[in-house]
Amino acid sequence: MRHFAGEFFLKFKALAVLPAIMLAACSDAPESVGANATPPLEEAAEIKAPAGEYRIDPAHATLVFRIVHMGLSHYTAGFSAFSATLNFDPAAPENMNVSAVINVRSLTIPEPPEGFHDTLLGPDWLKSGDYPDITFTSTRVIRTGARTATVEGDLTLLGVTAPVTMEAEFVGGYPGFHPHDPQARIGFSAHGTLNRADFGMTQYLPTKASPGALSNEIEFRIDAEFLGPPTPPEITEMNYNQ
């Protein structure tokens, strides 16, 4: 059971990083010059969403992570409560920034044995009493294509802050339309990996003597939509569909 708990906790860490990374993905990237210059994000991705502050839509967001368990499977878990703020500017992606907060106690795991969930949230693993949140703040975004970017940032977990990098993709966006969706909306997907040992999570690390322990590397993925500025009154469902 200890091995299983360790695995789950590791996944949790990966997941924490996840939400913040995804938000940063839409952030900045240097523009190239000349005939092969990368077009502005708005033109390349054909988005109509305006610049401004966007906040995550919890009804359309998921954060999951996975860790190798005993060399047998990729144990998968996630978090159900997290928030994020993104300053979006399709004309100047390099000026974007994102921050995210994950509620540690919202950890979700499949069919946990009795007491296992509390063990993971307790003093041996996530220490949710002392560290109720996992946070991420982007520091740099490097555009790699019309819809993709590498996002760098600082992740704070268990009171330790370390750099984390992820790959992000802009999925789509629009200015919204009355009366059904009266705010601008954009969507991103991001994924990456982190080493749990960087944050002091050293339980059950693989060794030559014990290759079947929990992996040090944790994979994470986040998919989310963000709500932005109110839709101008003249934008109706009718002209949106034209």
Domains contained in the chain, number: 1
How many CB atoms sit inside 10 A of residue 179's CB?
8
Distance CA 197, CA 216 (A): 6
Among 229, 228, 138, residue whose Cα is nearest residue 190: 138
d(Cα 217, Cα 214) in Å, to the nearest integer? 9
pLDDT computed for residue 94 by the predictor:
78
User: Which region, left, alpha or beta, applies to residue 100 given φ > 0 means left and ψ of -120 to 50 means alpha?
Assistant: beta
The per-residue pLDDT for 176 is 87
Q: Is residue 188 within 8 Å of residue 209, measured between CB atoms?
A: no
Residue type, 159: G
In the chain, how long is the greatest CA-to-CA distance? 68
Task: Give the chain's residues under pLDDT 50.
Answer: 1-36, 44-45, 238-242
151's enclosing H/E stretch is strand 148-157
pLDDT at residue number 178: 77
Q: Are 76 and 64 in contact (CB under 8 A)?
A: yes
Q: Please choose, from the candidates 111, 112, 82, the residue with its C-alpha nearest in 3D space to the C-alpha of residue 15.
A: 82
- Residues 50-60: pLDDT tens digits? 899 999 999 99
Q: What is the 3-state secondary structure (H, E, C) of 182-241?
A: CEEEEEEEEEEEEEHHHHCCCCCCCCCCCCCCCCCEEEEEEEEEEEEEECCCCCEHHHHH
For residue 95, the model assigns a pLDDT of: 82
Containing structural domain, residue 97: 2-241
d(CA 188, CA 97): 14
Residues with Cβ within 8 Å of residue 176, at least 6 apart in sequence: 182, 183, 184, 185, 230, 231, 235
What's the confidence (pLDDT) of residue 225? Answer: 98
Supply the pLDDT for residue 30.
40
- Candidates 44, 29, 4, 19; CA nearest to 147 is 44
- Rounded distance, CA 101 to CA 81, Å? 9
Residue 177 is predicted with a pLDDT of 82
Which CATH number characterizes residue 164's domain? 2.40.128.110
